[in-house]
């Protein structure tokens, strides 16, 4: 009997000892031989990372990582390069990124004449009557200004001269204005309205006219709708092509997650189809287009869509566009523009609606993300948020955000931390805008309230980072560089603008990783390299945490890993 019991115990021990356990079950891949920044609480410096089924199963020494090595484990040698958690773009426009790859990209033009040349080339390739669309021009960045300006903008005469048979509509880099030629305005009936003296006043927008009441071609803020509704809708094939191009652009630039700042139901459905088809190669956190009141009401009634399994497509926030931008003097200010007395910018949504959506968001579990660039817009939104919070004090983990938070009155900076409002900022805007923004705001307002990253962090607020693509190129290292240097991308001025507001490199890295994940309620599943989290990584050619500041922008994205799979590898 004892012998039989002994044999039974031997069999049981043998069976169970042969079962793979969590530690010894083979990993799909092991990453090693690189500099690894985990961004965990202890700033751990491991030698190797083991990944299984899309998640991190080990972080530690290479010797211990070998316990996870099996016959089919892929050993990925980082060759001394630098790995971080996957970078998260916290404010961009994914379809806009895709269409920038398809339409005229005006981001790099130096002046109005270059714009005209590009349009003329497009006209030569187009059929008569075909719309020519583009985006990216910014008059304040041009190296020379046109002879004729109205309210600081060019007029359409030269544009119309090279495009008589093609309607043209070119969006400002900020997305808050657009430039139309005579043909586009003819189709929209704007020219006839001008002749009749009946150009409509647009709430939250403006058709800019000259001294004779003629439209200059510039449509600011919501006035762009006068032209937009005549532009033919894109067909499904072209929409899908744009999305596929946008995903590839994210992967090339080390972006593993993307906060899409305003999407229609049609766009959300397209994202869902890409996910269903296995083609959604970036994790999406989607903001509903809040100005669409019917869409907002629909989602508030049905509740958020939270992807707690694949973490690929979540819809749980509402984007409210509450003012314009500094570039077109649409940002809503407490005091008039320094370079245009009498102009204060404008609210592009009623504050009553902001309060209504804030109340609904708290009740239904939606985060509210309100666009505010001017100091009055920031104050007004904080006021609406505060009213809603006070009415519903039980909900404390709301993580409401202000998108851009670019110019804030000093009295309002502490409110971000006090109210747990996230500042979703794009540091690269300082690099692009600071040199001319001082003309809009004056020295005092710039120094006391613009791009206040360190002050916001000291208030206790989270500051999260991005590029606002396609307003800026989707290059996270440009925003990282701006965060730590406060310089233009050509390194000016020496020492940076308002250097006390610089981020440390640790803060800048957090703003693109763990704090960015916090901005979408996902800090427990991504944003740092820790066991149990998603295996999303960005691999850089050099160590962005130690390389000289003037070498940061020389860094290349070598590899992008999403859920343990290499989705981008730079060609040698």
Q: What is the pLDDT of residues 17-76, one digit of tens each?
A: 444 445 568 999 999 999 999 999 998 999 999 999 999 999 999 999 999 999 999 999
Confidence class of residue 556 from pLDDT cuts 50, 70 and 90? very high
Domains and CATH numbers, the chain: 1-80+526-572 (2.30.40.10), 88-93+236-525 (3.20.20.140), 98-228 (3.10.310.70)
3 vs 507, which has greater pLDDT? 507
Lowest mean pLDDT among 99-113, 157-171, 186-200: 186-200
Rounded to 5 degrees, φ, ψ at 493 are -80, 165
Calculate mean pLDDT across residues 141-166: 91
448 by Cβ neighbours in 10 Å (0-12 / 13-18 / 19+) ranks as middle
Query: Tokens for 112?
Result: 């109005």
15 vs 231, which has greater pLDDT? 231
Cα–Cα nearest to 334, from 465, 445, 230: 445
Calculate mean pLDDT across residues 507-524: 98
- Paired with 52 in beta bridges are 55
Lowest mean pLDDT among 139-153, 354-368, 418-432: 139-153
Confidence class of residue 126 from pLDDT cuts 50, 70 and 90? confident
- Specify the pLDDT at position 194: 73
pTM of the model: 0.85
Lowest mean pLDDT among 46-50, 91-95, 202-206, 529-533: 202-206
Place of tokens 């309620």: 521
CB atoms within 10 A of CB 105: 16
Q: How far apart are CA 220 and CA 329, in angstroms?
A: 9
**DSSP 3-state assignment of 212?**
coil
- Specify the pLDDT at position 18: 40
In this structure, the dihedral spanned by the alpha carbons of residues 73, 37, 401 and 271, taken in order and rounded to 10 degrees, is -20
In this structure, the dihedral spanned by the alpha carbons of residues 158, 161, 167 and 170, taken in order and rounded to 10 degrees, is -20
Calculate mean pLDDT across residues 296-313: 98
552 has a pLDDT exceeding 60: yes
Q: What is the largest CA-CA distance in the chain?
A: 111
Confidence class of residue 196 from pLDDT cuts 50, 70 and 90? confident
12 has a pLDDT exceeding 70: no
Which residues have C-beta within 8 Å of that of residue 389, sequence separation ≥ 6? 362, 395, 398, 419
**DSSP 3-state assignment of 559?**
strand
Mean pLDDT estimate for the chain? 93
Which residues have C-beta within 8 Å of that of residue 399, sequence separation ≥ 6? 367, 420, 422, 518, 519, 521
Lowest mean pLDDT among 87-91, 108-112, 179-183, 201-205: 201-205
CA angle in degrees (0–180, nearest 5) for 366-461-489 = 105
The edge-to-edge listing of strands for the beta sheet with 367-372 is 87-92, 255-263, 283-289, 313-321, 367-372, 401-404, 422-424, 463-464
Confidence class of residue 4 from pLDDT cuts 50, 70 and 90? low
Q: How far apart are CA 439 and CA 417, in angstroms?
A: 29
Percent of the chain with pLDDT over 90: 81
466 has a pLDDT exceeding 60: yes
Which residues have C-beta within 8 Å of that of residue 227, sequence separation ≥ 6? 169, 178, 180, 184, 185, 188, 190, 219
- Specify the pLDDT at position 17: 43
Cα–Cα nearest to 45, from 546, 519, 432: 546
CB atoms within 10 A of CB 94: 28
339 vs 11, which has greater pLDDT? 339
- Specify the pLDDT at position 103: 86
461 vs 172, which has greater pLDDT? 461
Q: How far apart are CA 291 and CA 319, in angstroms?
A: 8
Query: Tokens for 328?
Result: 């077109």
Calculate mean pLDDT across residues 457-463: 98
């Amino acid at each position: 009997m004892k012998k039989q019991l002994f044999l039974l115990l031997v069999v049981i021990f043998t069976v169970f000892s042969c079962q793979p356990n969590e530690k010894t079950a083979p990993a799909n891949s092991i990453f090693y031989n690189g500099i690894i920044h985990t961004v965990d609480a202890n700033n751990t410096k491991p030698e190797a990372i083991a990944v299984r089924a899309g998640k991190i199963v080990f972080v530690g020494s290479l010797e211990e990582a070998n316990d996870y090595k099996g016959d089919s484990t892929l050993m990925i040698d980082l060759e001394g390069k630098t790995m971080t958690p996957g970078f998260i773009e916290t404010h961009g426009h994914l379809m806009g990124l895709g269409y920038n790859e398809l339409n005229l990209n005006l981001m790099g033009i130096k002046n109005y004449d270059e714009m005209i040349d590009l349009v003329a080339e497009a006209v030569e390739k187009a059929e008569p009557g075909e719309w020519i669309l583009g985006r990216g021009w910014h008059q304040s960045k041009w190296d020379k200004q046109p002879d004729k300006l109205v309210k600081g903008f060019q007029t359409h005469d030269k544009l119309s001269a090279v495009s008589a048979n093609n309607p043209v509509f070119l969006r400002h880099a900020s997305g808050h204005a657009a430039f139309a030629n005579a043909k586009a305005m003819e189709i929209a009936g704007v020219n006839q309205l001008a002749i009749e003296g009946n150009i409509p006043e647009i709430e939250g927008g403006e058709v800019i006219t000259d001294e004779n009441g003629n439209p200059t071609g510039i449509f600011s803020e919501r006035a762009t709708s006068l032209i937009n509704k005549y532009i033919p809708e894109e067909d499904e094939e072209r929409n899908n092509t744009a999305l596929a191009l946008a995903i590839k652009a994210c992967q090339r630039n080390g972006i593993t997650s993307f906060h899409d700042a305003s999407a229609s139901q049609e766009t959300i459905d397209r994202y869902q189809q890409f996910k269903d088809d296995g083609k959604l190669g970036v994790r999406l956190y989607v903001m509903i287009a809040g100005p669409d009141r019917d869409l907002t009401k629909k989602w508030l009634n049905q509740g958020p869509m939270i992807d707690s399994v694949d973490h690929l497509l979540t819809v749980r926030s509402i984007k409210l566009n509450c003012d314009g931008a500094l570039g077109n003097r649409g940002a809503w200010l407490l005091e008039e523009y320094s370079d245009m007395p009498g102009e204060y910018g404008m609210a592009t949504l009623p504050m009553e609606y902001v309060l209504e959506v804030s109340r609904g968001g708290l009740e239904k579990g939606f985060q509210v993300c309100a666009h505010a660039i001017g100091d009055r817009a920031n104050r007004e939104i904080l006021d609406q948020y505060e009213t809603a919070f006070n009415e519903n004090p039980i909900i404390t983990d709301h993580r409401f955000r202000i998108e851009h938070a670019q110019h804030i009155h000093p009295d309002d900076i502490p409110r971000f931390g006090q109210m747990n409002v996230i500042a979703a900022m794009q540091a690269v805007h300082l690099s692009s805008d600071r040199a001319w923004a001082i003309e809009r705001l004056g020295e005092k307002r710039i120094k006391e309230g613009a791009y206040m990253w360190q002050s916001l962090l000291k208030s206790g607020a989270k500051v999260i980072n991005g590029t606002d693509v396609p307003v800026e190129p989707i290059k996270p290292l440009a925003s990282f560089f701006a965060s730590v240097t406060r310089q233009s991308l050509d390194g000016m001025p020496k020492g940076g603008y308002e250097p006390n507001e610089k981020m440390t490199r640790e803060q800048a890295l957090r703003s693109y990783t763990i704090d960015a994940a916090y901005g979408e309620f996902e800090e427990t599943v991504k944003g740092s390299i820790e066991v149990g989290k998603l295996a999303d990584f960005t691999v850089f050619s050099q160590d962005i945490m130690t390389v000289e500041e003037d070498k940061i922008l020389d860094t290349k994205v070598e590899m992008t890993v999403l859920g343990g799979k290499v989705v981008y590898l730079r060609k040698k």
